[in-house]
Amino acid sequence: MGVERNRSTWERLGKDDPLWAIMPYPAEKSANWDLDEFMATGVADIELVVKHLAEHSLRLHGRVLDFGCGVGRLTNAIAEQPDVTSVVGVDVASSMVERARQYNRHPDRV
């Protein structure tokens, strides 16, 4: 898939059903995701990453880049980490970035 086709697909998904596009659980299609539940999946995923990093004497700290941030599910969870000073989220789809701005729970760090 070329970059333009990829961008076009994610733009459409970001406008039509952005949460389901990121976490395509059948029961959550057609905008049925609860935003708090959706964001909690990001917290759980980042907790696993933090645990795995710690096993290798590594940690999330300083400024973090979330490449392919979508609607900010992981961006928000990363921002909650105590040693993270800021998170920058980027995505190929401006519709996803716009949603990420709307869903940003940590404006002082994201």
Question: Domains along the chain?
Answer: 3-103 (3.40.50.150)
Residues 64, 2: Cα–Cα separation, whole Å: 27
Determine the pLDDT at residue 1.
Answer: 65
3-state secondary structure of 62: strand
Which stretches of the chain score pLDDT less than 70? 1
Say whether pTM exceeds 0.95. Answer: no
Determine the pLDDT at residue 36.
Answer: 96
Residues 28, 11: Cα–Cα separation, whole Å: 19
22 in Cβ contact with 77 (< 8 Å): no
Determine the pLDDT at residue 108.
Answer: 97
* Strands 62-67 and 84-90, bridge-based pairing: parallel
Determine the pLDDT at residue 56.
Answer: 98
Q: Which residue has the tokens 């952005």?
A: 18
Determine the pLDDT at residue 30.
Answer: 78
